[in-house]
Structure 1
Amino acid sequence: MAYPVADLYGEMAFIAAHFHWSSETLLTMEHGERRRWCREISRINRMLGASADDPFAGL
């Protein structure tokens, strides 16, 4: 079963918006690694008191 495309692009957009990594870099990452970066960005956002919606805050 393939990973849902909408979820993949959501993760990629979230990471790219914060770290400005290329789509090529993000596409070659393992799923678990991308999810880990999403969690780390969410943790940083919480520490900074970010008010923007964070779809990965509960990971």
Structure 2
Amino acid sequence: MPPLCPGPRPGAAGGILGYPLTRVYQEVALLGQRVHWTHHELMNLDHTERRRWLATVLELEETT
């Protein structure tokens, strides 16, 4: 295994860029409200699975 880099690359801003935390809260709140899963269950879903369930719930709401 290669050694870890000693620090950030020159000019790199650092930090982790990822999915906005606000969006995660919105998705978890909506799924919790609609499917009544616990916070623990919702937070254990990976990003792709959570988005898939969210899309399915919203799609079902459009058809009813």
Question: What 5-or-longer segments of structure 2 have no aligned partner?
Answer: 1-16
Kindly indicate whether structure 1 or structure 2 has the higher relative contact order, using CA contacts under 8 Å at least 6 residues apart.
1
Q: Which entry has the higher C-alpha Rg, 1 or 2?
A: 2
Q: TM-score, normalised by structure 2?
A: 0.70
- Aligned-residue Cα RMSD (Å) equals 0.8
Distance in 2 (alpha carbons) for counterparts of 1:17 and 1:11? 10
- What's 2:12 paired with? none
- Segments ≥4 residues shifted beyond 4 Å: none
Q: Which has the higher helix share?
A: 1
Q: Percent identity?
A: 29
Task: For structure 1, list consecutive stretches of 5 or more residues without a partner in the other structure.
Answer: 49-59
Question: What TM-score do the two structures reach when normalised by structure 1?
Answer: 0.75
Give the length in aligned residue pairs.
48
